[in-house]
Structure 1
Amino acid sequence: MGQLIVRGLDDRLVQALKQRAARSGRSAEAEHRALLEQALRPETESFAEAAARLRARTPRQTSDSADLIRTDRDRDHGSARR
């Protein structure tokens, strides 16, 4: 495995990395590695795959949208007809 040394970092950036690592329960080195992996990981998921993955996390709609629109319309405009 390779090594990477980054010199000349702003002290605030180093401190932010350490704080982020602490929140994640990792060492600063492990957090640095995770950030690099996340930033440089090639995108292999297509838009359609991402959409399907997100759709699977969304609860199924049990009502027909036309019924919901009709109910809202009748509620909002029903009093004007009286």
Structure 2
Amino acid sequence: MADMVLRNLDDDLKQRLRERAAKHGRSMAAELRAIVSEALTRPDTDPVAEFKRLATISRAMSAGRSHTPSEVLLRESRDKDAK
């Protein structure tokens, strides 16, 4: 196993790591290993593909519903703010 040194860690991040480690009943080093392991085993996602996936879900959820055009909503908001 390799050793690593993490330098110049912001004090706030160090405190958050300490609190997270305590919440999980681990040392700070064990918590950091868990974070790195989880981050590196998670599959990389393409942001554009993820956006398209979520947009497809959103369109499916609102299918068949009437929609107010954005320019109408914007005009109503501006008129309301002008009063």
TM-score, normalised with respect to structure 1: 0.50
TM-score, normalised with respect to structure 2: 0.49
